[in-house]
């Protein structure tokens, strides 16, 4: 198989594989656009009930491909804005999908790659994980991944990662709730497929409604969250066959 993004179906599970291993699957515009479109396609396909996102080779994703940055300058404002909008859309897309997504992560998951990992609904990580946000080391600001990081971590640790570029180990990421499981690196994909396969056994409308409500209540005051829950409680009566 060729291409910057590989797609493979395992029954009702769709596996999306970032495929730039020589670049540690760094996100250039072509790969970012392909990932956005593939996530949209999976969410619209009634035959797909779960998605696994992984990376080919020894790393999950090294973040943005810095070689493109020479063209993303103030002299090309249209390109800058287009790339920023594309990146923002991909970083938030998985949590907005009705279809659940589990990330199978090994090796480097840094910058935009770290954002992709925690943007999934669940994360299985290899014991070789190195997770963090080293952008300031390159005089860059982790602007489009900061929202996800702050929502997942306490402010003190989040600021430490952003300001120092320190990378977390798999054990640290698990301790702080960034990932769900730690397995040997060669087992990340099988472990993620096991989770995804369990999701496919759940009534898809119920799972989609549960996922939507889960992320909505996180951003609502208690009373509004309870009202949203009441609405879904009434809706779910129609899910039974």
pLDDT beneath 70, residues of the chain: 1-2, 68-80, 225, 228-229, 232-235, 237-241
Task: List the catalytic residue out of 135, 184, 186, 203.
Answer: 135
Residue 101's pLDDT is 98
Q: Phi and psi (nearest 5°) for 71?
A: -95, -15
**Residue 128, both tokens:** 């070789």
Residue 81's pLDDT is 74
Residue 197's pLDDT is 98
Q: Catalytic annotation on 8?
A: no
> Does domain 5-200 match CATH 3.90.226.10?
yes
Residue 79's pLDDT is 64
Residue 74's pLDDT is 64
Question: How do 168-169 and 181-183 pair as beta strands?
Answer: unpaired
HEC string for 103-149: EEECCEEECHHHHHHHHCCEEEEECCCEEECCHHHHCCCCCCCHHHH
pLDDT of 116-157, one tens digit each? 999 999 999 999 999 999 998 888 888 878 888 998 999 999
The domain locations on the chain are 5-200, 204-238
Residue 72's pLDDT is 59
Q: What CA–CA distance (Å, rounded) separates 195 from 198?
A: 5
Residue 69's pLDDT is 61
């Amino acid at each position: 198989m060729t291409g910057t993004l590989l797609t493979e179906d395992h029954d009702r599970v769709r596996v999306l594989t970032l495929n730039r291993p020589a670049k540690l699957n760094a996100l250039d515009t072509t790969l970012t656009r392909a990932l956005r479109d593939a996530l949209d396609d999976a969410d619209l396909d009634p035959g797909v009930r779960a998605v696994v996102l992984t990376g080919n080779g020894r790393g999950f994703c090294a973040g943005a491909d810095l070689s493109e940055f020479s063209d993303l300058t103030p002299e090309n404002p249209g390109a800058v804005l287009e790339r920023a909008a594309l990146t923002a859309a991909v970083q938030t897309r998985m949590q907005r999908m009705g279809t659940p997504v589990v990330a199978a992560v090994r090796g480097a998951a840094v910058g935009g790659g770290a954002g992709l990992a925690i943007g999934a609904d669940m994360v299985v990580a290899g014991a070789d994980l190195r997770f963090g946000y080293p952008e300031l080391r390159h005089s860059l600001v982790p602007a489009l991944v900061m929202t996800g990081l702050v929502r997942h971590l306490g402010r003190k640790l989040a600021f430490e990662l952003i300001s120092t570029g320190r990378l977390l180990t798999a054990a640290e990421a698990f301790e702080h709730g960034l990932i769900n499981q730690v397995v040997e690196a060669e087992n990340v994909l099988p472990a993620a497929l096991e989770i995804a396969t369990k999701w496919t056994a759940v009534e898809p409308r119920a799972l989609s409604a549960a996922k939507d409500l889960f992320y909505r209540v996180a951003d609502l005051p208690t009373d509004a969250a309870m009202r949203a829950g009441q609405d879904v409680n009434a809706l779910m009566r129609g899910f039974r066959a």
